[in-house]
Amino acid sequence: MAQVLEFKLPDLGEGLTEAEIVRWLVEVGEVVAVDQPVVEVETAKAMVEVPCPYGGVVTARFGEEGSELPVGAPLLTVAVGEQAAPGGPERDPGTGGAEAARAETTKAAATGAEQPKAEGSGNVLVGYGTSEAPARRRRVRPVRPEPAAPQAGAAANGRPVRTAEPEGPVPVISPLVRRLARQNDVDLRELTGSGPDGLILRADVEYALRAATARGGRTAVQPGVADQGPSAPRAGSPVSSAPRPGGIRTPLKGVRGAVADKLSRSRREIPDATCWVDADATELMRARTAMNASGGPRISLVALLARICTAALARFPELNSTVDTQAREVVQLDHVHLGFAAQTDRGLVVPVVRDAHARDAEGLTAEFARLTEAARAGRLTPGELTGGTFTLNNYGVFGVDGSTPIINHPEAAMLGVGRIVPKPWVYEGELAVRQVVQLSLTFDHRVCDGGTAGGFLRYVADCVEQPAVLLRTL
């Protein structure tokens, strides 16, 4: 006899208490294997695929795409056992199917029926599954009836109705962009992507929304809120006589919400100060060119800067600290887990290179490349986004010279690096054109005074100007 098992949203780790459903990977009535990813969710740390520890037929799904679920809430139900077959009755994915699935689970528990033993361990490890990863099954989509052809010139919501649906998915950079288009009734097939090979970016969707507003068409709605017309207030919301300002509204949730909370907390709790210095990076650039000309793996500039940072932290360990506010203690850490700021389509994230002090320039280059690729693809795990002890921020890639970074709470310091550009410089007593960079250090004044911070920054500048200085610390 088939039994219906309920799979709840697992604890995704790192203190996360909720997640937003980005995209369902299975349909009701579809057969799933043990550890097959069933849903893609976005947390405050990353976007991950959640594998199901049971194998069988999906009987119900809980939550629509774009909705948030707390950890421990029902995610879906799976019928397991000998009678669970893909040809069985398909349940409605809405409330009726969910209630029926719950009723079957309750009935099985009340009659004392033995629950089938799942082949997986039952401990959902996001990104890893619960056992040896099986071959991912081909998705079986239910056959949908063909829509009736609309009348010529017919329109819905002020937009033309498509008379034909081209086959194949529209190339979109991420599910978040696809969801933004869906929630604001933007037809992706009518857009021309500005990305590589016509890839549709978030900027393309936002441009279409602005253009529709300028034409007097449909006003962009808040994501996750149904368009109820100009006079229909949201359920449960107080009616206000003041008109809401126009424009595109983006909720501060997910990664952007987490970043906003962390930056606000940093400004609120940390008494920070910033010092900066200009440095001649000509010799550092020459050293990198010589290293890459040797025929081995190419070394990135950020890896050399990271190597300089770890050497400087060994000399000034006060900056590799955190403040325990409850115990009123400064905790000096014995490992350097180096974070680096990475700009992605989903917002600013800070991946962490574990044990950066134990890696050479080649190892740092490889790890930076791996984490950067994962960040842009939205595959970073919560563990790869937390636990940093010091952050390197290379804002020079945006073409700016300087900045005053905000410390990545609960760390104690961040080193900022501007662009490296040719500038007039006094070199060996004569005016010359040199490759100059501005370095800035924002630090928590509770962990050290200006003398320590200045010494750290001066040592970094000395290594940039004369890379041989670094050899004395190796």
Q: 44-72: per-residue pLDDT in tens?
A: 666 778 888 888 999 999 988 888 888 88
Q: 167-214: CATH homologous superfamily?
A: E3-binding domain (4.10.320.10)
Which range is least confidently modeled, 24-38, 196-210, 425-439?
Answer: 196-210
Give the pLDDT of residue 117: 45
Give the pLDDT of residue 472: 58
pLDDT digits (tens, 9 = 90+) for 383-399: 898 899 999 999 998 89
Higher pLDDT, 256 or 275: 275
Beta partners for residue 155, in sequence order: 160
Q: Closest Cα to residue 52, out of 88, 80, 89?
A: 80
Report angle CA 147, 152, 155 to the nearest 5 degrees: 75
Give me the active site residues, please.
Answer: 445
Question: Using 50, 70 and 90 to split pLDDT, how confident is the model at 90?
Answer: very low
Beta partners for residue 344, in sequence order: 347
Q: What percent of the chain has pLDDT over 90?
A: 39
Contacts of 222 (CB under 8 A, 6+ apart): 249, 251
Structure pTM? Answer: 0.56
The DSSP call for residue 326 is T
Higher pLDDT, 196 or 96: 196
Phi, psi of 413 (to 5 degrees): -165, 160
Give the pLDDT of residue 221: 36
- Return the domain boundaries, the chain: 3-110, 167-214, 271-471
The listed CATH number (2.40.50.100, 3.40.50.720, 3.30.565.10, 3.10.450.50) that belongs to domain 3-110? 2.40.50.100
Pairing outcome for strands 390-393 and 413-417: parallel
> Across residues 395-420, what is the average pLDDT?
93
Give the pLDDT of residue 240: 43
The DSSP call for residue 356 is G
Q: What percent of the chain has pLDDT over 70?
A: 71
Question: Using 50, 70 and 90 to split pLDDT, how confident is the model at 258?
Answer: confident
**Under CATH, what is the fold of the domain 271-471?**
Chloramphenicol Acetyltransferase (3.30.559)
What average pLDDT does the structure give for the chain?
77
167-214: same fold as 3-110?
no
Question: Using 50, 70 and 90 to split pLDDT, how confident is the model at 175?
Answer: low
